Structure 1
């Protein structure tokens, strides 16, 4: 491995509107993958914070002002010329202002997660598009599953033991998954863990659910988020811990937080 490659930090923004749609733009002529659709963003300059870079890039490219944003997923790509650390930030509908302008001659479009109509998309965006379909407001329990809504309508996750062919999203505990030796056949697989040691074992999942029942586990979630997570992390926590840590977890990049008083595992 070439250890002399530079380390480049890049930010991209998931800008949402009041209908839950996300903003995509095409790459302008003269850039690699010209005409492909992506989430806007760019390189973090020396001495610049990630949020400041996000704000600058959206002002330069699309003419809108980002007031606040929160980190979401982190991807690391190794190239021959550099190692790229790419952080995606979520920008809610009330957190940006201005009128969108195609300042680089690009196209732009509002798209519904789970129902994208523009193409071609950048190849690396496939996992992101699927992750965006996962609701950020969820309810339910491990033994019965979770439910919520996204821009396409109702969304349900069913325990693997109860799943039927029509169920697209299934929930399974990491020990059971390890015993099976392979992922269930489903559109998305949510894997439940309860300790940091299991985190490396679930990176092929579509969503990780971290069950938190004490402060040690709550702090472990904070540490994992500080390092950056590559897949949506849903925190399922005992109610008092959920109330105490919810803001911190979400600010660190958790996809959703669910308060739960059950102790059994899937």
Structure 2
């Protein structure tokens, strides 16, 4: 039986918070918190379905949305193919109104105060806490602009880091228990072999590799992907990558400073 196609939106407000809604009474998993959305109807594009669901459920109009992640999840009642979109604060308008008796909550990514969460959304909630920009390099690790999120290779990793960075094929050291594992990949084969990670660092060496990354994002990814590339490659390809679902961008400055 084919999975049910479902769209869901991660809506941001001007404060950078994301919108979660509770499933109304009478639906499966009633009372569980989730991202708003619903089934794609016959003949609808994913974006059209997203717009319709948000107008029906919450009374707001979405003007644009960027694809993010895709997940396939098997519930007791159905298997669903979830298409997640991110919707910036300036990409929707209207007053959020619960039209189906659901509860609403604006939450800070990584600091959720509502529960229980819908099972299919657990990994997504963690992924949303990953910043969109970093500095650093694979040898010494990466850190977010505010220093609040840090990724380190095994030789430098300690409990204060948020994530461990491993090569695509490297086993996780038995003595290390990170909160998250990132894997570094440089091509499609490594990408496919690194799906056990929580997030991926894609090293982009040239324009050909940039096109491979773009095509992969356009096909849909289930893990947040950060691109690591030189400034000139970023300038040429970052807009298309972001429109296709890239989570984060890291400029490779190793040729300038170490």
TM-score for the superposition, normalised by structure 2: 0.92
Root-mean-square deviation (CA, aligned residues, Å) is: 2.0
Give the structure with the higher percent helix: 1
1:158 corresponds to 2:152: yes
Unpaired stretches in structure 2, ≥5 consecutive residues: none
Tell me the CA shift for residue 70 of structure 1: 0.1
1-structure distance, mates of 2:165, 2:99: 44
Report the alpha carbon displacement of residue 80 of structure 1 after superposing the two structures with TM: 7.9
2:110 counterpart residue number: 114
Confirm or deny that 1:208 pairs with 2:200.
yes
In structure 2, C-alpha distance between the alignment counterparts of 1:163 and 1:82, rounded to whole Å: 41
CA contact (8 A) 2:132 2:248 kept: yes
Of the three residues 20, 25, 31, the one matched with 2:21 is 25
Task: Give the number of equivalent residue pairs.
Answer: 255
Name the SS of the counterpart of 1:154 in structure 2: coil
**For 2:121, what is the secondary structure of its paired residue?**
helix
User: Which consecutive unaligned segments of at least 5 residues does structure 1 have?
Assistant: none
The residue aligned with 2:187 is 195
The reply on whether 1:258 has 2:258 as its aligned counterpart is no
Q: In structure 2, how many angstroms separate the alpha carbons of the residues matched to 1:211 and 1:190?
A: 13
Number of the residue aligned with 1:241: 233
Moved more, 76-85 or 103-112: 76-85
Is the contact between residue 149 and residue 162 of structure 2 (CA under 8 Å) also seen in structure 1? no
| Structure 1 pair 243–78 and aligned structure 2 pair: CA distance change class (3 A) | same
3-state DSSP class of the match of 1:134? coil
Taking structure 1 as the reference length, the TM-score comes to 0.89
Match of 1:231 among 223, 226, 232: 223
| Equivalent position of 1:221 in the other structure | 213
Tell me, what secondary structure is at the counterpart of 2:149?
strand
What is the match of residue 161 of structure 2? 167
Residue by residue over 1:57-102, the C-alpha shift from the partner in whole angstroms, topping out at 9 and shown as x without a partner, is 0110011111111000001235687653211000011111111101
Q: CA deviation at 1:238?
A: 2.1
Task: Give the distance between the partners of 1:102 and 1:78, measured in 2 at CA.
Answer: 27
